[in-house]
Amino acid sequence: TNQELLNQQEQRESNARSYPRRFPLAIQEAEGVYITDVEGNRYIDCLAGAGTLALGHNHPVVIEAMEKVLHDRLPLHTLDLTTEVKEQFVDELFASLPEGFRDRAKVQFCGPTGGDAVEAALKLAKTATGRQSILTFQGGYHGSTHGTMSVSGNLAAKKRVQGLVPDTHFLPYPYDYRCPFGKGGRKGAEINAVYIEQLLDDPESGILPPAAMIFETVQGEGGSIPASIEWLQEMRRITKERGIPLIIDEVQTGIGRTGKLFSFEHAGIIPDAFVLSKAIGGSLPLSVVVYDRDLDSWEPGAHIGTFRGNQMAMAAGTATLKYVKEQNLSLHAQKMGEKLINSLKELQRLYPQLGDVRGRGLMVGVEIVDPSGTAVLNGSYPADPELTNRIQKSCFDRGLILECGGRHGAVLRFLPPLIITEEQIETVVSILKKAIAASVK
Ligand code: PMP
């Protein structure tokens, strides 16, 4: 039963984990957007391996790619040594890059988590510039290693770890719903940019010439918060004018999820480096940094590690990337995201507890608030994490897996596989509607 397996997990596995704890199930099998537990209950999976499963569970093209590796008896792990499978992966990745980047790009295989690739990108920028300050943003999430935790904002877990990487500076992310700089768009972006430029120019800010600026174009764990297109362009302008390498963390946003293959394409900008993991391995562990040759200051051995030669992940990743492009799943994600957001906005009219509905593509969030509290700033009410948890639990009981996140733990997050259909979106919304009705007092 679920409980027997959960009891075993409870006794033997450390507490330093998060997702499984909130969902009392043991998974038996999975297909497409569905997972089934050991007792035969079926759920729609809108967590999808925290955004890893772009094509859903066990997609035929992913299975086929993996089976081919086994059938041809290819090596499963090759460290940094190259293979045909690896070069095909790089071909597909480079062919996917925007034109202005393709000829200038280099790729670094990391291993194999998003966190390790962010570490590599930060070290690369520090090496290339010989500088040390890092500019990062409130509410951002870049991983749970020592270095990536240091550049992640508003993480409760940080409080208990002393001596994180110094000279890390947190700037305000354009979180419209609670942004002290006013609403987004061109005006909001300009005000935010002026503030950042003044900080960089002010010796009292203590910010030395920065080695890098890093952000997500849509904060994922931070609560599905899309930065405005204008803000992204302003950050590219500031970093370019000041010679600060811009690193975009595409770990969650990459490979079609936001409606473009890479999310920075929405703003027509090209970063100096970007980081991919999650979907790039087609559900298997893989991560890479793609960077401009101008940054290429690595000496051999500058960022090493054993598990960066997973051939199965590269084969699954190539198949995923190909399929996303052939089927134009980016556009599909955009359409499904719009449908989801529109339906959630309709629910918002019925329930003032849905304080903010937002997203880009299939990275969607609903911020749950207490409308009896005092509204501040742009009319935002206090976050209500307890109600969020009740709604999440009620969704789970009705067969829908949603994650909650955000700075206040009060954002219901929708990260379904990109292959989700219109009917499945309707089912998701109808389950959510029932769960909200059952959870609000
Ligand atoms: N960056 C972003 C934007 C992420 O969402 C995550 C994972 N949620 C990471 C980095 C870290 O990736 P990993 O958990 O594979 O280390």
| Contact present, 326 and 147 (Cβ < 8 Å) | no
**pLDDT tens-place string over residues 31-45:** 999 999 999 999 999
Q: Identify the burial level of 117 via C-beta atoms within 10 angstroms of its C-beta, where 0-12 means exposed, 13-18 middle and 19 or more buried.
A: buried
Q: Rounded CA gap, 368 and 101, in Å?
A: 40
Substitution candidate for ligand 1 out of 119, 137, 141 with most atoms within 8 A of CB: 141
Q: What is the pLDDT of residue 21?
A: 61
Q: What is the pLDDT of residue 70?
A: 97
Q: Rounded CA gap, 401 and 44, in Å?
A: 6
Domains in the chain (CATH in brackets) are 2-58+328-439 (3.90.1150.10), 63-326 (3.40.640.10)
Q: Does the global pTM surpass 0.95?
A: yes
Return the structure tokens found at 115. 């966190």
Substitution candidate for ligand 1 out of 251, 253, 288, 307 with most atoms within 8 A of CB: 251
Residues with CB under 6 A from ligand 1: 50, 113-115, 118, 141-143, 216, 220-221, 249, 251-252, 277
Per-residue pLDDT of the chain (441 residues; tens, 9 = 90+): 988 888 888 788 777 666 556 788 999 999 999 999 999 999 999 999 999 999 999 999 999 999 999 999 999 999 999 999 999 999 999 999 999 899 999 999 998 999 999 999 999 999 999 999 999 999 999 999 999 999 999 888 898 999 999 999 999 999 989 887 767 788 889 999 999 999 999 999 999 999 999 999 999 999 999 999 999 999 999 999 999 999 999 999 999 999 999 999 999 999 999 999 999 999 999 999 999 999 998 899 999 999 999 999 999 999 999 999 999 999 999 999 999 999 999 999 999 999 999 999 999 999 999 999 998 877 899 999 999 999 999 999 999 999 999 999 999 999 999 999 999 999 999 999 999 999 998
Q: What is the pLDDT of residue 262?
A: 98
Nearest atom in ligand 1 to 250's CA: 3
Q: Rounded CA gap, 340 and 338, in Å?
A: 5
Q: What is the pLDDT of residue 378?
A: 73
Q: What is the pLDDT of residue 22?
A: 72
Q: Rounded CA gap, 313 and 282, in Å?
A: 7
Chain Cα centroid distance, residue 329: 17
Q: Rounded CA gap, 101 and 67, in Å?
A: 33
Which amino acid residue places its CA nearest to atom 7 of ligand 1? 143
Q: Rounded CA gap, 111 and 117, in Å?
A: 7
CA 141 / ligand 1 centre spacing (Å): 7
**pLDDT tens-place string over residues 250-289:** 999 999 999 999 999 999 999 999 999 999 999 999 999 9
CA 240 / ligand 1 centre spacing (Å): 26
CA 439 / ligand 1 centre spacing (Å): 31
Q: Rounded CA gap, 270 and 261, in Å?
A: 13
Return the structure tokens found at 251. 């770990």
Q: What is the DSSP secondary-structure string of 252-298?
A: TTTTTTTSSSSGGGGGT---SEEEE-GGGGTTS--EEEEEEGGG--P
Which amino acid residue places its CA nearest to atom 1 of ligand 1? 142
Q: Rounded CA gap, 170 and 236, in Å?
A: 17
| Dihedral sign from CA coordinates of 208, 213, 219, 225 | positive
ipTM of the shown complex = 0.99
| Contact present, 210 and 135 (Cβ < 8 Å) | yes
In angstroms, the Cα distances linking 171 to 135, 180, 295, 387 are 7, 12, 24, 29
Beta strands 287-292 and 105-110 are: antiparallel
Closest Cα to residue 341, out of 363, 352, 357?
357
- Average pLDDT along the chain: 95
Q: Rounded CA gap, 123 and 75, in Å?
A: 30
